[in-house]
Structure 1
Amino acid sequence: MNNTALILDPNDNVGVALSDLSPGQSVILKNQSIDIQDHVLAKHKFALQDFKVGDEILMYGTIVGEATKAIQKGGAITLENIHHKTKNYTLEPGIYNWKSPAITHWKDRTFLGYQRPDGQVGTANYWLVLPMVFCENTNVKLLQEAFENALGFAIPNPYEIQIKSLLEDWKQQKFTESVSRTSNTHKSKIFENLDGIRFLTHSMGCGGTRQDAESLCALLAGYIHHPNVAGATVLSLGCQNAQVSILQEKLKNLNSQKPLVICEQQQEGTTEQLITKAIHETFQGLIKANEYVRRPVPLDKLVIGLECGGSDGFSGISANPTLGQVSDWIVALGGTTILSEFPELCGAEQNLINRCTTPELAEKFVHLMEAYNAAAKRVGSGFDMNPSPGNIKDGLLTDAIKSCGAAKKGGTAPVTDVLDYTEYVKTPGLNLLCTPGNDVESTTGLAGSGANLILFTTGLGTPTGNPICPVIKVSSNTKVAERMPDIIDFSTGGIISGEDSIETAAEKLLDLIIEIASGKKLTKAEEKRNFDFIPWKRGVSL
């Protein structure tokens, strides 16, 4: 790779600076010498031709903007001389023939997963505690303090003694805490096959629309049904919009058979009665959850969510294409990947339409995209306003530039299904999931749709994690990996420097995925307990 600049597609009319460029400097692209006219920072773009007002800006072989001022060949592309524009798309798909990648190296590989009776396989084994409504958040936190204290944490809690008593009664074993998997990660020897208890809180369940309550119940059902979850304890007040009966109906629709402890405060009486019941029944659930053990399973049991956040001008060149290669391998092996963040597919629509395996899927994708964008425009926004100040500062000037790079996470495989928010994955292959671009709302949705592991690319750095699903942070550049080693799990910076190809980086990443999916290593987000959970209200969130 040219270590100063590159062109992403032969049809592009702008280049990307891989290092800072100065006026008077010359770079060779498209067999021509380009004299740089302005200071162009690394990750930013410069003109490969003279542009007049109204000329289209091409990157990734498609339209990503329009010139608003004349731009001289070699001049910097900035927000002062271009604005967002995308290529018109049609539901008439072009011919798409996918050449499946070679998978000989991976076809016999396995990971150590938890096999569930319904055929799903977990990369972790958790018991889940969640509220139906924000009124129960305090009680969830009481349970969290009690269980975590009893499992060796130092925060005192009046209910801790109940759990310790149950522990002593069970096989007369004394609780001990030992270091496991990593030097700074604790795991109970009492429940040696339990990776932890995860506690969710949220601000929904009542006071909003009935549609919000319905959506919340569907999301919570997805978390309970999730392959990384052995069972759940549900706290309900009783009078809220998000009724337990709605949750149970959503679970029935998923054919979920997970053990469920339901405690409703208005039925139980005092807080002490509620918490005592929750503790005793949850403890019995933990005993059953501990019966699961990791066993070797093929890689087609992986369901990988594809996410990005804190993106930069290198994300679409290094980290996202690396995820795309991993996605193609998993799909070729018979596994499942899920590409999220619909505001960040704006400008990549035609490519994805062409890859849909049926006209109905293409129609659903376009309907979800257009309805979402229209909702944003009704309140004075739109997909074009998705890039954040950090994105723009580091080279992602328009949503189309950002989106065409973000779409690279989905590789080249055909689209086998299109899911609306809270729909649970059911079809192997590449799935598209309608979520916001908001990092936590999107990762929350990916886990709720069944991803048992999430790959998350970042160019600027972000600590986002998830309570039940390992989130592997993949940096687009070496600098952020070195500056934030406590949150970055894997760096693709070697692609920018020329030390790695996309394929070699993807091979290393898939090896890491197998290690984490097998429970042999924790992600940085798990080590730091970044357990982020924010349900998406179907309003405008880009």
Structure 2
Amino acid sequence: MKSKLIKVHPEDNVAIALVDLWQGDTVNFEGEDIFITSDTKAKHKVAMVDFAAEDKIYMYGVLVGKATEEIRKGGVLTVDNVKHEANTAYGKTETTAWNAPDISKWKDRTFNGYHRPDGQVGTKNVWLFFPLVFCENRNIELLKDVFENELSFHKSSKQRLLLRSLIHGTDSEAMADVEPEESSIFDNIEVKFITHQGGCGGIRQDSASLARLLAGYINNPNVAGATVLSLGCQNLQIDIFKSALKRINSDIQKPLLIYEQQQMGTVDDMMNTIIKESFAEIKKANQIPRKPAPLSKLKLGLECGGSDGFSGISANPALGYASDLLSALKGSPILSEFPELCGIEQELVNRCVNDEIADRFISLIRAFEDSAIAAGSGFDMNPSPGNIKDGLITDAMKSAGAAKKGGTSPIEDVLDYGDYVTRPGLNLLCTPGNDVESTTAMVGAGASVVVFTTGLGTPTGNPVAPVIKVSSNSTLARSMPDIIDIDSGGVIRGEKTIEEMGEEILEYIVKVASGEEESKADQLDQDDFIPWKRGVSL
């Protein structure tokens, strides 16, 4: 390793420890000997100057906090001596110029996807079952049991075989090592099932929001068609759902089967009808072939979770470079998690292509933060215990690194939760920072692939879109190889540049989008789906 410290931006007055440092160590950095005044774990921040109380702290070239007491040069920053502080944006102050990356090696590349009647191209071919209201969750679960078992979409897990051996008194260790058999009736269609706790009982706005989200899932290019269950008396009525779908796509041509239990008699009668009619449509969807499509047809969700002190200097900026490449190719990256954009709003506002889009971003993020404050919280309370333990001690510090996923390209559109991506280039989508709620929303906005960076390890997946995991460090990649697809630890060691790592990420995206690689989340059947109730969810 060439250095024990790294500074992200020339104007920063703190550096990041790349290895554990100990009180009394002397580290040569930028031609100066830095005396380490306190034990500092890797990923944590070291003062590069003497701070007095109320002095401003900068990382990534932006304000990320204030000292609450004196911090000597070479001292470690903690939650005890630093508090959250961030700049506030009120409007565009300039238009940021963009130096687009060289896309000559990518402009003629294609992926093999599923072409839909409206011109969108999917990376998967999914038949989706879901309810309009939680009252139908049990029926969805019954259908899941029937279809998954009879169509053999999911192989028996090693753990299931282990339990079977315990029940029958056979050699448990031998059974645990047996590779489960897998045999699927269909080879070109997946059947997926969603349940949720919404659709009734809450405020009407929540049901309307859920309708827009579910309509987005129908319209997602990865979905071939859907079976929808309604009880009949709930807030989220069938006509509200259809109106939400028409708002996104007025000429939807996918097969859509909708059943209302209160109009169909017994459960057996209803289930028999659903199974017969759904099976017939699934057989048809299985005939849809993969065909080449330009990379401009990709809509890419940008997500992070279980972040650590390395996320903002390896995995996130590498994904940001992949995002810039896709933007230059006229694809559509999607950056969400508004609480994790706190402190870098001005930079994002100045990247908006016009004042209208900039004002929309400011309005949405301010309204979100105000709702958090009204509930007795705030964006400053966003870092999790895991974030703090690994060096992300203020929300602005976390946000400055998290926003690197969005690269440097112009922001072409700003969307509220439940809106659908229609413009090429970088889109901002208002969602919580909660990993699953955010990922759920981006797929509802049309994301056909999601790339999820993590420093601590997160198993999140999605029923409709593949979720690719990028680790910020190699230790994580080695300890949790079953959830990590790409290791960006080479950036930390100086073995790869951000640009090289970004191109590696885009290359893997193309393979997953073409069905040549399966994401680890899909291998684990990690199908997470959590709608955002528009109360406070940080």
| Residue number in structure 1 paired with 2:168 | none
Checking the alignment, whether the CA contact within 8 Å between 2:89 and 2:362 is kept in structure 1 is no
Checking the alignment, whether the CA contact within 8 Å between 1:3 and 1:496 is kept in structure 2 is no
- CA shift for structure 1 position 451: 0.2
| Residue number in structure 2 paired with 1:94 | 94
- CA shift for structure 1 position 30: 3.9
**Distance of 1:274 and 1:432 partners within structure 2:** 41
1:96-121 Cα offsets, whole Å, 9 max, x none, are: 11111100111111111001010000
| Residue number in structure 2 paired with 1:51 | 51
Checking the alignment, whether the CA contact within 8 Å between 1:3 and 1:498 is kept in structure 2 is no
**Distance of 2:53 and 2:460 partners within structure 1:** 41
| Residue number in structure 1 paired with 2:373 | 377
SS at match of 2:468: strand
| Residue number in structure 1 paired with 2:234 | 240
Checking the alignment, whether the CA contact within 8 Å between 2:352 and 2:411 is kept in structure 1 is yes
Checking the alignment, whether the CA contact within 8 Å between 1:185 and 1:527 is kept in structure 2 is no
**Distance of 1:185 and 1:335 partners within structure 2:** 39
Distance 1:279 1:324, change over 3 A: same
Match of 1:425 among 406, 421, 427: 421
SS at match of 2:113: strand
SS at match of 2:502: helix
1:327 and 2:305 matched: no
**Distance of 2:378 and 2:73 partners within structure 1:** 31
**Structure 1 range deviating more: 1-10 or 219-228:** 1-10
| Residue number in structure 1 paired with 2:350 | 354
| Residue number in structure 1 paired with 2:78 | 78
1:380-529 matches, within 5 Å, as 380-529=376-525
**Distance of 2:442 and 2:344 partners within structure 1:** 20
Checking the alignment, whether the CA contact within 8 Å between 2:337 and 2:430 is kept in structure 1 is yes
Distance 1:33 1:122, change over 3 A: same
Distance 1:277 1:299, change over 3 A: same
**Distance of 1:126 and 1:140 partners within structure 2:** 16
Distance 1:153 1:414, change over 3 A: closer
SS at match of 2:418: coil
| Residue number in structure 2 paired with 1:66 | 66
1:142-181 matches, within 5 Å, as 142-152=142-152
| Residue number in structure 1 paired with 2:204 | 210
The letter for the 2-side match of 1:438 is N
- CA shift for structure 1 position 520: 1.3
1:37 and 2:37 matched: yes
Distance 1:323 1:55, change over 3 A: same
1:134-149 matches, within 5 Å, as 134-149=134-149
Gaps of 5+ in 1: 157-182
SS at match of 1:416: strand
SS at match of 1:247: helix
Gaps of 5+ in 2: 157-178
Q: TM-score, normalised by structure 2?
A: 0.94
The letter for the 1-side match of 2:393 is L
- CA shift for structure 1 position 29: 3.1
**Distance of 1:184 and 1:245 partners within structure 2:** 44
**Distance of 2:303 and 2:83 partners within structure 1:** 25
**Distance of 2:154 and 2:350 partners within structure 1:** 56
Distance 1:450 1:153, change over 3 A: closer
**Structure 1 range deviating more: 284-293 or 382-391:** 284-293
Distance 1:473 1:185, change over 3 A: farther
| Residue number in structure 2 paired with 1:169 | none
Aligned length: 514
**Distance of 1:299 and 1:187 partners within structure 2:** 32
SS at match of 1:191: coil
Checking the alignment, whether the CA contact within 8 Å between 1:222 and 1:422 is kept in structure 2 is yes
The letter for the 2-side match of 1:191 is F
1:198 and 2:198 matched: no
| Residue number in structure 2 paired with 1:8 | 8
Q: TM-score, normalised by structure 1?
A: 0.93
The letter for the 1-side match of 2:76 is A
| Residue number in structure 1 paired with 2:220 | 226
Distance 1:273 1:323, change over 3 A: same
Tell me the C-alpha RMSD between the 2 structures. Answer: 1.5
- CA shift for structure 1 position 287: 2.1
| Residue number in structure 2 paired with 1:159 | none
**Distance of 2:337 and 2:246 partners within structure 1:** 28
Checking the alignment, whether the CA contact within 8 Å between 1:318 and 1:476 is kept in structure 2 is yes
1:295 and 2:261 matched: no
**Distance of 2:313 and 2:299 partners within structure 1:** 24
- CA shift for structure 1 position 506: 1.5
**Structure 1 range deviating more: 81-90 or 309-318:** 81-90
